[in-house]
Amino acid sequence: MSKAIILVMDGLGDLPDAKGYTPLSAALKPNMDRLADEGATGLFSSIGAGIVPGSDTSHLSIFGYEQEKYYPGRGPLEAIGARFPLKEGDIAFRANLATVENGKIWDRRAGRITTEDAKAFSKYIQKFKVGTGIDAIFQPTVEHRGILILRGKNLSPDITPTDPHSNIALPKSMPLDPKDKAAKRTADALNKFTKMAMHTLDKAKENKDRRRPVNAVIVRGAGTYSKVDSMFQRYGVRGACIAGGALYKGVASYVGMDIVDVKGATGTFETDLKAKGKAALQALWSHDFVFVHVKATDSFSHDGKFEEKKNFIAKVDKELMPTLLRGNCNIIITGDHSTPVKRRAHSGDPCPLLISGPDVRRDDVKKFDEFACGAGALGHVKGTELFNIMLNLIEKAKMCGT
Ligand SMILES: [Zn+2]
């Protein structure tokens, strides 16, 4: 029975620069180009044409779960990924360590603080009482990222975020419906946490040497957790997830995939690609497919760094691809969404997609990039269709009808 590796380069798709190149089209990537030449290509929109996906909804879709039906909010997915033992009724948020000056958000990522430094700051804000019977629990994940849990009775995720996604005055959380008592209680608790965290972090000794202090926690993606049917129950396949970022492990774990922890898989550009490749090969023995995620393509896009994104793609080709190729199985390569460098944000442009394997019908496309793949035989693949294509490739697709 054949198997598959799905490599997702986060935020891979891009728009042409002044010379007409994207980081992917300009990158030296002989392995991916060879696979494109030998296999079939197309474009992929993880949710639908023109829709701007988040990394959470897009991955649900890549794993065959319709995001309209199964999306619990980003917070719970991040928390599951960070192996936080969520309890029924917990409200989970995606959190950022940030820099706030004179009430204004100066940097939403606190200068992209290192994971190590973030840990040092986090020890001051691990747990606070933020209302009658309500605890706020903070846990750092990768770089500036973390999770915040509000635990207590009668809480609701129906509140506004304190991370406005731009550098404006730090907003207060409000209930979406002013008459909703549980939401009011939750927003008040969150605002109390924000205040306490700022007060405590401002005094942290680690801030003495920093040009801009790490002095705030901003949150978004509130949600509560509920269990869903596992991938094995729904589709009869076992998948493994190899990723550095908590969010991706969270989405995978939520749908019942196995999480393979890899030493050195950091979710940053320094991630140990060789170690990830080796872990993927090993996981292939015991799973029908292995999902491998790299994050830095997206991070560089958000920072507007064309050259760095290009070089990281070349590094993936050089350091990860040779090992994945040794798996001797179907390989699918795409992105979860486009993050054009010049926009520094996700966009609704489709990602290039390639599929290579013994049963793949070869098309005329010889290069893996946004332009060439537009002419590929797969056409425009949307939403959970990619997962169906993978199931068919590994002969696990169920017949529709008789
Ligand atoms: Zn993404």
Does residue 139 lie in a domain region? yes
**Of 197, 223, 249, which residue sits at a domain end?**
223
Tell how far the Cα of 298 is from the centroid of ligand 1, in angstroms: 6
Rounded Cα gap, residues 295 and 106, in angstroms:
24
Same structural domain, 174 and 257: no
d(CA 234, CA 64): 9
Gap from CA of 12 to ligand 1 centroid (Å): 8
Chunked into runs of 10 residues, the chain (402 residues) has average pLDDT values of 94 98 98 98 98 96 96 92 89 96 92 93 97 96 94 96 90 97 98 97 92 94 90 98 92 96 86 95 97 97 97 98 96 98 97 96 98 98 98 96 90
Write the CB contacts of 397 (distance below 8 Å, at least 6 apart in sequence).
Answer: 388, 391
Residues 83 and 212 in one domain: yes
CATH, residue 14: 3.40.720.10
Q: Is the dihedral of CA 381, 383, 386, 389 positive or negative?
A: negative
Q: How many residues comprise the chain?
A: 402
Q: Which residues contact 276 (CB under 8 A, 6 or more apart)?
A: 242, 262, 265, 292, 294, 320
**d(CA 216, ligand 1 centre) in Å:** 24
Distant-in-sequence, close-in-space partners of 3: CB < 8 Å, separation ≥ 6: 284, 287, 288, 289, 290, 327, 329, 330, 394
Secondary structure letter of residue 349 according to DSSP: P
Q: How far apart are the first and last CA of the chain?
A: 23
- In this structure, is the dihedral angle defined by the CA atoms of residues 307, 248, 245 and 150, taken in order, positive or negative? positive
**54 CA to middle of ligand 1, Å?**
6
Same-domain pairing of 246 and 200: no
In a domain, 274, yes or no: yes
pLDDT, position 156: 96
Q: Which amino acid is at 335?
A: G
Pair (193, 89) in one structural domain: yes
Does a structural domain hold residue 401?
no
- Cα-flanking dihedrals φ and ψ of residue 64, to 5°? 85, 15
pLDDT (0 to 100) of residue 1: 62
Residue matched to tokens 């005094």 = 203
337 CA → ligand 1 middle, Å: 6
219 alpha carbon – ligand 1 mean position (Å)? 18
Task: Give a yes or no: residue 399 inside a domain.
Answer: no
Long-range contacts formed by 21-25: CB under 8 A, 24+ apart:
22/369, 22/370, 22/371, 23/297, 23/300, 23/306, 23/307, 23/309, 23/310, 23/313, 23/341, 24/310, 24/313, 24/352, 24/368, 24/369, 24/370, 25/367, 25/369, 25/370, 25/371, 25/372
Residue 252 lies inside a defined structural domain of this protein: yes
SS3 of 25, please? helix
Q: What is the pLDDT of residue 112?
A: 86
Relative orientation angle of helices 246-254 and 55-62, to the nearest 10 degrees = 40
Which structural domain, as residue segments, surrounds residue 378?
Answer: 4-72+228-393
Last residue of a domain, one of 186, 204, 223: 223
Last residue of a domain, one of 223, 249, 278: 223
SS (H, E, C) 45-106: ECCCCCCCCCHHHHHHHHCCCCHHHHCCCHHHHHHHHCCCCCCCCCEEEEEEEEEEECCEEE
What the block records as the tokens of 115 is 């994971």
Q: Are residues 38 and 134 in the same domain?
A: no
Same-domain check for residues 320 and 209? no
Q: In terms of domains, do 253 and 385 share one?
A: yes
Q: How far is the CA of 65 from the centre of ligand 1 (A)?
A: 16
Q: How far is the CA of 81 from the centre of ligand 1 (A)?
A: 15
Ligand 1 centroid–CA 11 distance in Å is: 5
Same domain, 219 and 266: no
Neighbours of ion ligand 1 (CB under 5 A): 10, 55, 298, 336
Quick check: is 321 in a domain?
A: yes
Residue 320, Cβ neighbours under 10 Å: how many? 23
**Ligand 1 centroid – CA 300 distance (Å):** 12
Strand partners, 137: 127, 149
Are 297 and 244 contained in the same domain? yes
- The answer to whether position 400 is within a domain reads no
Distance 347 CA to ligand 1 centre (A): 10
Of 142, 398, 165, the residue nearest 302 (C-alpha) = 165
Give the distance from CA 291 to its chain's centroid: 13
Is 114 in the same domain as 194? yes
Q: Encode pLDDT of 43-52 as tens digits.
A: 999 999 999 9
Confirm if 295 and 145 have CB atoms less than 8 A apart. Answer: no
User: 115 and 66 in one domain?
Assistant: no
* Distance from residue 181's CA to the centre of ligand 1 (Å): 34
CA nearest to 287, candidates 235, 323, 360: 235
- Determine how β-strand 4-9 pairs with β-strand 330-334: parallel
Task: In whole angstroms, give the CA distance from residue 116 to residue 109.
Answer: 14
Per-residue confidence (pLDDT) for residue 198, from 0 to 100: 96
pLDDT tens digits, 373-393: 999 999 999 999 999 999 999
Rounded Cα distance between 140 and 214, Å, is: 13
Asked if residue 87 is part of any domain, the answer here is yes
Number of domains forming the structure of the chain: 2
Residues 90 and 142 in one domain: yes
